[in-house]
Amino acid sequence: MKEESGGKLVLDAAFGWTDGNQVSFPTASVTQSSKETQLLFVTQAGTRVAAIRMSSGLFEGTFTTNDGVVKTVRIEKLTEDELRAKIAAIKAARAAKVVVKPSADVPESCAAFSGQWVGRWRQGDIGQSWLWVTEIDVNCMAKVSYNRNDDLPKSFITVQIKGDELSFLCNSPTGGTCVFKREGDDLRASYSNPSGGRNSAVFERLK
C-alpha cells in the first residue's frame, strides 16, 4: 500500500472466487475525506466496484459491469475461520438444492446413500474426491456423479444400488471400478482395474 495525494491510498489487492484462485490487480484504492472513506477497484473482467465505509464497518455501494449493468454490493472483513465457515455454508446450501431427499417408499438401505460424500484415496497423490448421490427411486436406481472437486456436478450416471453396495466405472482410461459399501455412517470405498491397480478410502457424508 502506498499513499498518493488527496488522501488516496493505492492498495496491493487480489480478487477472485471462493475456490482460492484470487488474482492480483493494479487498480484498487481507498480515498479518505472528512466525510467518508471510499473503496474503488476494477476487477479483471472490467467490473468497477465503488463502495463507501458505513458506521458498521461494512463497505456498501455498487458494482458496474463493463456493459453497464449496475448492482448493489456489500463488502465485509472476515477472519480466515469466518471466511471458511461462510464458504462451507454457501456450498452446503447449493448442495441442498441438488440432492433430492428420498421418498418414504425408497428402502432404507438405499436411501442411506443419498447426499454428498468426500474421501481421500490412500494410495497415490490423488487428493480428495467427491461422490454425489442426488436422487434415488423406489427401485434403488440412483443418480450419481463422481468428481475430483466439490463443484456442483454437471453430468450424472444412473446406477442401481444393490443391497449395501454402489458400484460403477469411475476411471474410464484404466477401466477402473469404484465400489462403495455402507459402514456405519460412512462409505467404505475400494477401487480396482483390470491391470491390477488397487486402492481404498473412507468417504464421509458432508453435512
Placement of cell 449395501 in the chain: 164
Q: Tell me what pLDDT residue 86 has.
A: 76
Q: What is the identity of the amino acid at 107?
A: P
In this prediction the pTM is 0.60
Q: DSSP per residue over 91-117, as a string?
A: HHHHHHHHPPPPPTTS-HHHHTT-EEE
Q: What is the identity of the amino acid at 71?
A: K
From first to last of its 207 residues, the chain has per-residue pLDDT tens of 455 555 678 887 777 766 555 666 657 888 888 788 999 888 877 888 999 999 888 999 999 998 889 999 998 888 888 887 877 777 666 666 788 999 999 999 999 999 999 999 999 888 899 999 999 999 999 999 999 887 888 899 999 999 899 999 999 999 999 999 999 999 999 999 999 999 999 999 987
Q: Tell me what pLDDT residue 72 has.
A: 94
Q: Tell me what pLDDT residue 18 has.
A: 62
Q: Are strands 23-25 and 2-3 parallel, antiparallel or unpaired?
A: unpaired
Closest-CA residue to 109 (of 61, 56, 38, 161): 161
Q: Tell me what pLDDT residue 206 has.
A: 86
Q: Which domains does the chain have, with CATH numbers?
A: 2-77 (no CATH), 99-205 (2.40.128)
Q: Are 12 and 29 in contact (CB under 8 A)?
A: no
Q: Tell me what pLDDT residue 149 has.
A: 84
Q: Are 103 and 138 in contact (CB under 8 A)?
A: yes
Q: How far is CA 131 from CA 23, 54, 78, 93, in A?
A: 29, 43, 30, 17
| Residues 6+ away with beta carbon under 8 Å from 53 | 36, 37, 38, 39, 59
